[in-house]
């Protein structure tokens, strides 16, 4: 009994000591996103910080009466860390980086300074490898100041919560930094950093247009080299081969037919020869949610098959133009047939490397389908 009482007393005293040393939530600046630009020989570093009062309002009430403020800091220096140090010295409250879950890079940084970014993240103990990585062709600061719906804080935007948005409408893979860094040093494969832009053409609140961040394309990397920016419309084939594809909405026959493609599966068959060639087998389970013209399933299948093939071929054409495998088809030869071809031969991938694309479609009619 005495031993148990002693343990309780010790634990209570430890709790008091730890509690006294802990900082109150209002006594630090909680950085949620870092933006990095490079111009005129200097890095420009931006910090987007969290306002906990906005989070409390969002969680505790049914509506927000005030616009959630966006707190952004800015500083310049020869290195990323030096710029952050300069900013910290001028801050009213100390910075805390444990809540950073996104990094936004300018096109200049992506083109010429990725090694500096990689080194900075590796050396900072508070930056985790599961943060989101984005790029932009626009002004970094403007993206960080982008709005969200219903006056919600910035953590409810695609910059901080991309999976919630891509779950029901997949188009470009948005992956964590650890996936980027593993692909970056691989001798085979391409990684695409999603590119954000501000758009105010689709949504408004009352009479005010809402300027939100949207994905407009991506910056491609292969073998530690920047390969170029690719428009979203040229990446349409990605959704048919990416393992993270979930729900893909499609319209056919001048939007008379609407479908939801669920979890498409694509098998890559490697064909032997002097150089590897490939056969793609795309398996589609489709929910037919609208058919205004009562078009037959046979015609829908033919149209959908052509659509899928054309989208894959469109991305393959862009791959050939920038000399990289945007669809990562050649990874199958590297992973499973490395003894048959060397890396250089496998990397000589082109649109002509695809011998055949087979699409297998199963259509389920479901007028009452709900996501």
Query: What pLDDT score was predicted for residue 52?
Result: 59
Query: What pLDDT score was predicted for residue 193?
Result: 97
pLDDT in tens, 324-348: 999 999 999 999 888 899 999 999 9
Query: What pLDDT score was predicted for residue 106?
Result: 98
Query: What pLDDT score was predicted for residue 53?
Result: 53
How far apart (Å, rounded) are the C-alpha atoms in residues 301 and 282? 13
**Per-10-residue mean pLDDT for the chain, 371 residues long?**
42 41 64 97 94 52 56 96 95 90 98 98 94 97 87 82 76 91 95 94 82 93 97 96 89 95 95 96 95 92 98 98 96 91 94 97 72 45
Query: What pLDDT score was predicted for residue 26?
Result: 59
Look at the block and give the residue holding tokens 């950073």. Answer: 100
Is residue 247 within 8 Å of 169, Cβ to Cβ?
Answer: yes
CATH number of this structure's domain 235-371: 3.30.300.210
Q: Which residues of 204-222 are buried (b: 16+ CB within 10 A; e: fewer)?
A: eeeeeebebbebbbbbbbb
By percentage, how much of the chain surpasses pLDDT 70? Answer: 85
How far apart (Å, rounded) are the C-alpha atoms in residues 339 and 210? 54
The three-point CA angle 141-78-88 to 5° equals 60
pLDDT in tens, 209-249: 888 899 999 999 999 999 999 999 999 999 999 988 888 99
Token couple for 101: 């879950």
Q: What 3 state SS string does 108-123 have?
A: HHHHHCHHHHHHHHHH
Query: What pLDDT score was predicted for residue 153?
Result: 73
> What is the overall mean pLDDT for the chain?
87
Is residue 341 within 8 Å of 264, Cβ to Cβ?
Answer: no
Domain ranges, ordered by start, for the chain: 27-223, 235-371
Is the four-CA dihedral 102, 108, 114, 116 of positive or negative sign? Answer: negative
CB atoms within 10 A of CB 250: 16
């Amino acid at each position: 009994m005495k031993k148990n009482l002693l343990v309780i007393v010790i634990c209570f005293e430890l709790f008091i000591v730890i509690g006294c040393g802990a900082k109150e939530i209002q006594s630090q600046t909680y950085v949620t996103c870092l933006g990095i630009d490079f111009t005129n020989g200097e890095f420009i570093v931006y910090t987007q910080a969290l306002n906990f009062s906005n989070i409390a309002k969002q969680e505790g009430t049914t509506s927000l009466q005030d616009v959630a403020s966006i707190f952004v800091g800015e500083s310049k220096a020869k290195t990323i860390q030096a710029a952050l140090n300069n900013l910290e010295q001028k801050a009213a409250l100390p910075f805390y980086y444990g809540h950073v879950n996104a990094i936004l890079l300018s096109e200049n940084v992506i083109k010429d300074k990725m090694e500096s970014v990689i080194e900075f993240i590796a050396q900072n103990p508070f930056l985790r490898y599961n943060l989101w990585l984005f790029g932009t062709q626009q002004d970094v600061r403007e993206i960080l100041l982008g709005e969200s719906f219903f006056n919600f804080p910035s953590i409810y935007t695609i910059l901080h919560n991309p999976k919630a948005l891509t779950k029901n409408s997949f188009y470009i893979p948005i992956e964590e930094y650890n996936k980027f860094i593993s692909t970056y040093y691989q001798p085979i494969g391409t990684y695409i950093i999603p590119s954000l832009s501000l758009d105010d053409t689709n949504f408004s609140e009352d009479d005010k247009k809402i300027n939100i961040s949207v994905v407009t394309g991506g910056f491609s990397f292969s073998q530690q080299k920047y390969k170029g920016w690719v428009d979203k419309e040229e990446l349409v084939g990605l959704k048919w081969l990416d393992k993270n594809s979930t729900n893909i909405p499609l319209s056919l026959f001048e939007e008379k037919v609407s479908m939801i493609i669920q979890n498409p599966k694509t098998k890559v068959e490697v064909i032997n020869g002097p150089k590897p060639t490939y056969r793609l087998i795309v398996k589609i389970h489709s929910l037919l949610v609208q058919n205004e013209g009562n078009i037959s399933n046979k015609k829908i299948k033919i149209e959908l098959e052509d659509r899928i093939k054309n989208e894959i071929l469109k991305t393959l054409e862009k791959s050939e133009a920038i000399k990289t495998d945007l669809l990562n088809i050649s990874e199958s030869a590297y992973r499973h047939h490395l003894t048959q071809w060397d890396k250089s031969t496998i990397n000589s991938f082109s649109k002509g490397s695809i011998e055949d694309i087979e699409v297998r479609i199963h259509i389920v009619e479901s007028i009452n389908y709900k996501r």
